[in-house]
Structure 1
Amino acid sequence: MPRRAGARRCLQALAALVLGWAAAAHAFDFNMVAARARQLASTPYKAPGSTNVPRELRELPYERYHEIQFKPEHFPWRNNRLPFDLSFFHEGMVFDQPVRINEVVSGNAREIRFDPSAFQYGPVKVDPAQLKKLGFAGFRVLYPLNQGKRKDEVVSFLGASYFRALGKDQWYGLSARGLAVDTALNSGEEFPRFVEYWIERPAAGDKQLTIYALMDSRRVAGAYRFVIKPGDETAMEVKARLFLRENVTKLGLAPLTSMYLFGENQPSAQPDFRPEVHDSDGLSVQLGTGEWIWRPLVNPKRLLVTSFAATNPQGFGLMQRDRSFASYQEIGANYEHRPSAWVEPKGNWGSGRVELVQIPTPDETNDNVVAFWVPDNPPKPRQPFDFEYRLLWQKDGERTPPLSWVTQTRRGQGLTRKDDDTSFSLQVDFEGPIFKRLQADARVDAMISADSNGEVLKSTAQRNPATGGYRLTLVVRRKDEGKPVELRGYLRNGNTTLSETWSYILPPG
Structure 2
Amino acid sequence: MLSRRALLQGATALAGTSMFLPRRVQAEPVPFSFEALMARAEALAGQAYVPPYQPMPDVVQQIDYAQHGKLKFRPEKALFAGQPGADLPAGYPLEFFHLGQYFTKRVQMYTVVDGQATEVPYSTDFFEMPEDSPARQLPPDAGFAGFRLQEWNTEADWPRQDWVAFLGASYFRAIGAAGQYGLSARGIVLDAAVPDRTEEFPDFTEFYIEEMSDPNAPVTVCALLDGPSISGAYRFRMTRGLDRSRGVQMEIEAKLWLRKDVERLGLTPLTSMFWFGEYGRQRLTDWRPEVHDSDGLAMWTGAGERIWRPLNNPVSTQISAFVDENPRGFGLLQRDRNFDHFLDGVMYDRRPCLWVEPIVPFGRGTVQLLEIPTDDEIHDNIGAFWVPEEPARAGSSYTLNYRLYWQNTEPFVAENIAQTVASRIGRGGTPGLQRPENVYHFGVEFDRPAVMQRIPYGVFPEVVVTTTTGTISRVFSEPVPNGNVWRANFDIEMQPDESADLRMYMALDGVPLTETWIYQFTPRLAMDL
Residue 466, structure 1, aligned to residue 464, structure 2: no
Q: Is the 8 A contact 2:441 2:492 kept in 1?
A: yes
Q: Is the 8 A contact 2:177 2:352 kept in 1?
A: no
2:463 paired residue number: 446
Q: Supply the distance in 2 between the matched residues of 1:308 and 1:146 (Cα, whole angstroms).
A: 46
Relative to the length of structure 2, the TM-score reads 0.86
Distance 1:394 1:206, change over 3 A: closer
2:203 paired residue number: 193
1:267 paired residue number: 281
1:357 paired residue number: 370
Distance 1:503 1:205, change over 3 A: closer
Q: Is the 8 A contact 1:85 1:141 kept in 2?
A: yes
1:72 paired residue number: 75
Equivalent in 224, 227, 244 of residue 234 of structure 2: 224
Deviates more, 1:217-226 or 1:127-136: 127-136
Equivalent in 90, 100, 104 of residue 96 of structure 1: 104
1:427 paired residue number: 443
Q: CA deviation at 1:54?
A: 4.0
2:24 paired residue number: none
Note the alpha carbon deviations across 1:25-75, whole angstroms, 9 max, x for none: x953221110110010011111345552444x4255545523322111111
One-letter identity of the residue aligned with 1:363: D
Trace 1:476-487 onto structure 2 (pairs within 5 A). 476-479=492-495, 481-487=496-502
Q: CA deviation at 1:172?
A: 1.1
1:213 paired residue number: 223
Q: Is the 8 A contact 2:333 2:410 kept in 1?
A: no
Residue 178, structure 1, aligned to residue 187, structure 2: yes
Q: Is the 8 A contact 1:53 1:134 kept in 2?
A: no
Q: Supply the distance in 2 between the matched residues of 1:319 and 1:227 (Cα, whole angstroms).
A: 22
2:342 paired residue number: 328
Distance 1:308 1:47, change over 3 A: same
One-letter identity of the residue aligned with 1:395: N
- 1:79 aligned counterpart, secondary structure: coil
Q: Is the 8 A contact 1:54 1:130 kept in 2?
A: no
Deviates more, 1:365-374 or 1:226-235: 226-235
Q: CA deviation at 1:437?
A: 2.5
Deviates more, 1:422-431 or 1:157-166: 422-431
Q: Is the 8 A contact 2:371 2:383 kept in 1?
A: yes
Q: CA deviation at 1:148?
A: 4.5
1:32 paired residue number: 36
Q: Is the 8 A contact 1:281 1:296 kept in 2?
A: yes
Trace 1:482-501 onto structure 2 (pairs within 5 A). 482-501=497-516
- 2:37 aligned counterpart, secondary structure: helix
Note the alpha carbon deviations across 1:186-243, whole angstroms, 9 max, x for none: 2121111101110001135653200000001111100100000014221000111001
Relative to the length of structure 1, the TM-score reads 0.89
Equivalent in 97, 104, 115 of residue 107 of structure 1: 115
Residue 305, structure 1, aligned to residue 313, structure 2: no
1:457 paired residue number: 473
Q: Supply the distance in 1 between the matched residues of 2:388 and 2:520 (Cα, whole angstroms).
A: 23
Distance 1:372 1:155, change over 3 A: same
Deviates more, 1:435-444 or 1:468-477: 435-444
Deviating 4+ runs (over 6 angstroms):
416-420
Distance 1:146 1:347, change over 3 A: farther
One-letter identity of the residue aligned with 2:330: F
1:8 paired residue number: none
Q: CA deviation at 1:398?
A: 4.9
One-letter identity of the residue aligned with 2:183: L
Note the alpha carbon deviations across 1:324-344, whole angstroms, 9 max, x for none: 11000112x100000010000
Distance 1:271 1:247, change over 3 A: closer
Equivalent in 304, 309, 326 of residue 295 of structure 1: 309
Q: CA deviation at 1:98?
A: 0.6
Equivalent in 166, 182, 204 of residue 175 of structure 2: 166
2:298 paired residue number: 284
- 1:434 aligned counterpart, secondary structure: helix
Note the alpha carbon deviations across 1:433-463, whole angstroms, 9 max, x for none: 21122322344100000112x2212211122
Distance 1:69 1:123, change over 3 A: same
Residue 406, structure 1, aligned to residue 409, structure 2: no
One-letter identity of the residue aligned with 1:179: I
- 2:181 aligned counterpart, secondary structure: coil
One-letter identity of the residue aligned with 1:119: F
One-letter identity of the residue aligned with 1:358: E
Q: CA deviation at 1:401?
A: 3.4
Q: Supply the distance in 2 between the matched residues of 1:48 and 1:345 (Cα, whole angstroms).
A: 31
Q: Supply the distance in 1 between the matched residues of 2:92 and 2:150 (Cα, whole angstroms).
A: 6
- 2:82 aligned counterpart, secondary structure: helix
Distance 1:204 1:461, change over 3 A: closer
- 1:240 aligned counterpart, secondary structure: strand
Distance 1:132 1:270, change over 3 A: farther
- 2:180 aligned counterpart, secondary structure: coil
- 1:468 aligned counterpart, secondary structure: coil
Q: Is the 8 A contact 1:52 1:133 kept in 2?
A: no
Note the alpha carbon deviations across 1:103-129, whole angstroms, 9 max, x for none: 000000010111022111359732623
Q: Supply the distance in 1 between the matched residues of 2:466 and 2:111 (Cα, whole angstroms).
A: 55
Q: Supply the distance in 2 between the matched residues of 1:411 and 1:163 (Cα, whole angstroms).
A: 35
Residue 119, structure 1, aligned to residue 127, structure 2: yes
Distance 1:324 1:467, change over 3 A: farther
Residue 252, structure 1, aligned to residue 266, structure 2: yes
Q: Supply the distance in 2 between the matched residues of 1:145 and 1:379 (Cα, whole angstroms).
A: 44
Residue 86, structure 1, aligned to residue 87, structure 2: no
Q: Supply the distance in 2 between the matched residues of 1:258 and 1:219 (Cα, whole angstroms).
A: 24
Q: CA deviation at 1:399?
A: 4.5
Rg comparison, structure with higher value: 1
Note the alpha carbon deviations across 1:77-106, whole angstroms, 9 max, x for none: 233832311111000022100100100000
Q: Is the 8 A contact 2:353 2:410 kept in 1?
A: no
Residue 150, structure 1, aligned to residue 167, structure 2: no
- 2:125 aligned counterpart, secondary structure: helix
Distance 1:114 1:285, change over 3 A: same
Note the alpha carbon deviations across 1:150-206, whole angstroms, 9 max, x for none: 353010000000000013323111000000011110212111110111000113565
Q: Supply the distance in 1 between the matched residues of 2:482 and 2:131 (Cα, whole angstroms).
A: 52
Q: Supply the distance in 1 between the matched residues of 2:517 and 2:398 (Cα, whole angstroms).
A: 34
Q: Supply the distance in 1 between the matched residues of 2:135 and 2:512 (Cα, whole angstroms).
A: 67
Q: Is the 8 A contact 1:379 1:385 kept in 2?
A: no
One-letter identity of the residue aligned with 2:443: Q
Deviates more, 1:209-218 or 1:71-80: 71-80
Equivalent in 46, 52, 57 of residue 50 of structure 2: 46
Residue 348, structure 1, aligned to residue 361, structure 2: yes
Note the alpha carbon deviations across 1:442-488, whole angstroms, 9 max, x for none: 44100000112x22122111222325121001111223x22422211
2:454 paired residue number: 437
Residue 136, structure 1, aligned to residue 147, structure 2: no
Q: Supply the distance in 2 between the matched residues of 1:147 and 1:129 (Cα, whole angstroms).
A: 35
Structure 2: segments with no counterpart, 5+ residues: 1-29, 84-88
Q: Supply the distance in 1 between the matched residues of 2:250 and 2:153 (Cα, whole angstroms).
A: 15
